[in-house]
Structure 1
């Protein structure tokens, strides 16, 4: 037993996750009834990540801002630009692919009890109201826009506090980071439980009839992850981006794929940023912010499913309207976290651009929930891994401008 534990501890976390994934698939396929109790491991893992993430974000951001020295440069402007550029290009590419490979849907019921937002103004209003949410309520509901806002305000208010106070906050921040390290060590077992739950609960039979739609959705997301994002990173740092891209996908994308929650993946991304040696003052803000507004996968989902509804109803779409859809999907994707139901419930908003009736649009949302097992997994993996990717790209660009030598191949 000791030798087995020693071999297990010698494996990297990624290899341990792959082992857990293989065991989970084998158990779910071979002995589903016996494997069902293991599902609790997945719920415990995701619950622990979701539980620690809001408090971690509050203390990390508060500590970083309270101890920030005047004149010290951060990369937030560059990171925000990369977030918005990546989301827009993802939506634009999804629109182009949807024209090349039009998808028609067999509409189904299944979203009758949901209420989509009335327009972009309502989405933005929800975001603004989240900013001024009660801080305790924001932490309880994992409202990261509200948590970020209060963390920034508290951090600014504490800038002139005694060093002992700042040290106390920093110690809390370090302690929470340590707890995150403990939680992440259980990732292989958590993911084993999650994959068993996914296979035993949903199966793959219900997805087969939507094969073409899934192919377009997943194809777009993979292209964005493996082509569009690397081009953006190359334009930023002028080095081969793929070592960094693959590291972010391996160590952030895999866990995000199974947790299907950008919020739950915040601690994982924080740990990866620390591993990459990034500036803590920057990533402590950019990672939780990215989990809220960096939504390339959501932009793809909104654009593809909206144009699928349009093609199903034989509505002609001109180029200017298609470009407007790309912009709308970007804005809507950035506001997805502020709307119950995430990106799927913003599809009726995009459909309204083409005059698609709301009852039809909600049927498309129903289709989205049917394929959500894979759609949401790939979407979250793309969104979350890109948070680290763009944060790292901006950090490396800053160091290169300062005359420091950075080799992405060695760093990643």
Structure 2
């Protein structure tokens, strides 16, 4: 048994996940009644990641800031610029694709009981209130805006603390990180359970009626992941960006696709950044921050579904309004994690730009929940992998400026 475990351990996490994925598909199709008993593995895996992620972020950020020495450069500003640029471009690409391949919807009733924010001001207010949330409540509720705010404040307050105190905080941070590595080792079994649950409960038949809508949504996200993001990375590092892009998609995007939770994928991105040899002071802040404001997938979802409603109602859209939608979708996407329901419940904000009543907009939200089986998975994969991608791109850009050139393949 011990020899078998060592052989399994030597395969590497990505190969293990692929094996878990294939086994899950085979079990779900061949013997679904037996396969359902393994669904709990997926719930346990996602639950464990969601439970440890807020604690990990809190101690990592606090320890990084407390031990940060004056004059030690981080790349947070550059990363923020990349996050915002990537989110805007994703929304812009989605607007263009929606005009090239217009989609109409068959709207149905039954979504009136959902509630959406009344305007951008309400979204911003929600985010500001999240900042001043009780720190214990923020960790318990996985409110990453609040967690970041308190971790930064405590880190700054502890900068003048004795070295013994800083060492103790660092030791706790390392211990939590170690627990995360244990949880991630269980990813193949967790993803097997998640795949079984998806196939046995939903299947793909429910998505066939929304094939064109899904094609536009997923197509836009793939275009952003494989064309737009690589261009942005190339501008930063002036080298072939695809080795880095594919590394982030493989090691972060795959788990993000199946967990469908940016929060659950934060420890995965932390581990990837460590593997890439990035500055811990930087990525311990940028990764959880990216889970809040780097929402390219959400910008695509908001833009495509809003314009699907526009085409369905026969509303004429001019170019300035389309550009305004790109900006609005980016702003809404940045607030997606602070609103219950994520990106889908922010569609009425964008729809209000075209005078679409809330009753119709909420029916579009209902359609979004139907296609969410695939849409939400792709959205999370894009959002989460881009967090690590842009964090790495910003740091490699600084190294290129200092050293003249960088050898990315050495760290991949």
Q: State the SS of the aligned residue for 1:325.
A: helix
The alpha-carbon deviation at position 109 of structure 1 amounts to 2.8
CA distance in 2, matches of 1:114, 1:80: 32
Aligned runs of 1:383-402 on 2, under 5 Å?
383-402=383-402
Distance in 2 separating the partners of 1:320 and 1:405: 41
Query: Aligned partners of 1:235, 1:368: CA distance in 2, in Å?
Result: 34
Is the 1:42–1:189 Cα contact (8 Å) retained in structure 2?
A: yes
Could you say what secondary structure the match of 1:371 adopts?
Answer: helix
SS of the residue 2:264 aligns to:
coil
Match of 1:285 in 2: 285
Deviation, structure 1 residue 400: 1.3
Give the CA deviation at 1:405. 4.2
Distance 1:200 1:270 in 2: 32
Structure 1 residue 362: Cα displacement: 0.4
Q: Determine if the alignment matches structure 1 residue 352 to structure 2 residue 352.
A: yes
Q: Distance in 2 between matches of 1:404 and 1:6?
A: 42
Distance in 1 separating the partners of 2:152 and 2:52: 19
Q: Which residue of 2 aligns with 1:312?
A: 312
Is 2:16 the partner of 1:10?
no
Instruction: Normalising by structure 2, report the TM-score.
Output: 0.99
Q: Which residue of 2 aligns with 1:367?
A: 367
Q: Which runs of 5+ in 2 are unaligned?
A: none
CA displacement at 1:401 relative to structure 2:
1.4
1:178 corresponds to: 178
CA–CA separation in structure 2 for the residues paired with 1:126 and 1:186: 35
Quote the offset at 1:111 in angstroms. Answer: 2.4
**Aligned counterparts of 2:143 and 2:250: Cα–Cα separation in 1:** 27
Q: Which whole-Å deviations, capped at 9, do the CAs of 1:75-110 have from their partners, x for residues lacking one?
A: 000000000000000000000000000000011234
Offset at 1:403?
1.7
Which residue of structure 2 lines up, in the alignment, with residue 204 of structure 1?
204
TM-score (norm 1): 0.99
Listed as ranges, the gaps of 5+ residues in structure 1 are: none
Q: How far apart are residue 410 of structure 1 and its match?
A: 2.5
C-alpha distance in 2 between matches for 1:380 and 1:2:
36
Number of residue pairs aligned between Structure 1 and Structure 2: 412
Provide the secondary structure at the position in 2 that maps to 1:7: helix
2:134 is the counterpart of 1:131:
no
1:2 shift after superposition: 4.6
Distance 1:410 1:226 in 2: 22
Q: How far apart are the structure 1 equivalents of 2:210 and 2:313?
A: 17
The equivalent of 1:336 in structure 2 is: 336
3-state DSSP class of the match of 2:133? coil
Question: 1:241, 1:408 within 8 Å by CA — same for their partners in 2?
Answer: no
Residues 54-87 of structure 1 deviation map (CA, whole Å, 9 limit, x = unaligned): 0100000000000111111110000000000000
Q: Distance in 2 between matches of 1:367 and 1:87?
A: 23
Q: CA deviation at 1:114?
A: 1.2
Cα displacement (A) at 1:4 = 3.4
In 2, Cα distance between the equivalents of 1:385 and 1:197?
23
Q: How does 1:10-409 map to 2 (within 5 A)?
A: 10-403=10-403, 405-409=405-409
CA distance in 1 between partners of 2:398 and 2:132 (Å): 32
| Distance in 2 (alpha carbons) for counterparts of 1:141 and 1:404 | 45
**Does the 8 Å contact 1:117/1:349 carry over to 2?**
yes
Change in 2 beyond 3 A, CA 1:3/1:162: closer
In 2, Cα distance between the equivalents of 1:115 and 1:204?
28
Find the aligned partners of 1:365 and 1:110 in 2 and give their Cα distance.
11
Question: How far 1:409 moved relative to its partner?
Answer: 2.3
